[in-house]
């Protein structure tokens, strides 16, 4: 603990991964219930859209984010931190847009973009 806590990059990266995972998993837990109970969409459609969105978006984001960070020069390069900040900003801005969605397709697209950009930050934050 004495060696890890003074390391600001480690502490902030750990906090960012924890926050992203908390938000991402809570969205994935509650979104199907919200779409069924509040927005009154068909449960079969919700299941298909939910599975496609929650599997393809983070996976695509992690793969592309890892590729981009690798091309930039790895997670130790300062440009990789800039990439992480930009991807996080896109995810944050996109999360605001989800409130304005009234169709299942629009909701799924906005959720997909959020999970994609969130996933793109993970390789950089974990140092892989």
What is the C-alpha separation between 88 and 37, in angstroms, rounded? Answer: 30
Helix (H, G, I), strand (E, B) or coil at 76: coil
**64-106 pLDDT, tens digit each:** 999 998 898 887 788 888 888 899 899 889 888 988 988 999 9
CB 117 within 8 A of CB 24: no
Q: Note whether residue 3 is domain-resident.
A: no
Please tell me the predicted confidence (pLDDT) of residue 128: 58
Q: Note whether residue 2 is domain-resident.
A: no
What is the C-alpha separation between 32 and 71, in angstroms, rounded? Answer: 37
What is the C-alpha separation between 117 and 127, in angstroms, rounded? Answer: 17
Q: Note whether residue 101 is domain-resident.
A: yes
**11-67 pLDDT, tens digit each:** 877 887 788 778 878 877 888 888 888 888 988 999 999 899 989 999 999 999 999
Count of structural domains, the chain: 1
Could you tell me the residue range of the domain that residue 15 belongs to?
Answer: 8-126
Residues 6+ apart with CB under 8 A from 104: 35, 39, 41, 45, 46, 49
Mean pLDDT of 102-125: 90
Helix (H, G, I), strand (E, B) or coil at 2: coil
């Amino acid at each position: 603990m004495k060696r890890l806590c003074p390391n600001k990059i480690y502490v902030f990266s750990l906090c960012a991964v924890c926050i992203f995972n908390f938000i991402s998993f809570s969205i994935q837990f509650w979104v199907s219930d919200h779409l069924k109970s509040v927005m009154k969409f068909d449960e079969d459609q919700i299941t298909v859209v939910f599975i496609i969105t929650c599997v393809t978006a983070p996976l695509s984001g992690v793969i592309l984010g890892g590729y981009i960070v690798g091309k930039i020069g790895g997670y130790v390069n300062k440009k990789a931190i800039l990439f992480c900040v930009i991807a996080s900003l896109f995810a944050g801005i996109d999360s605001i847009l989800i409130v304005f969605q009234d169709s299942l397709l629009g909701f799924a697209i906005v959720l997909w973009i959020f999970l994609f950009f969130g996933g793109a930050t993970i390789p950089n934050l974990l140092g892989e």
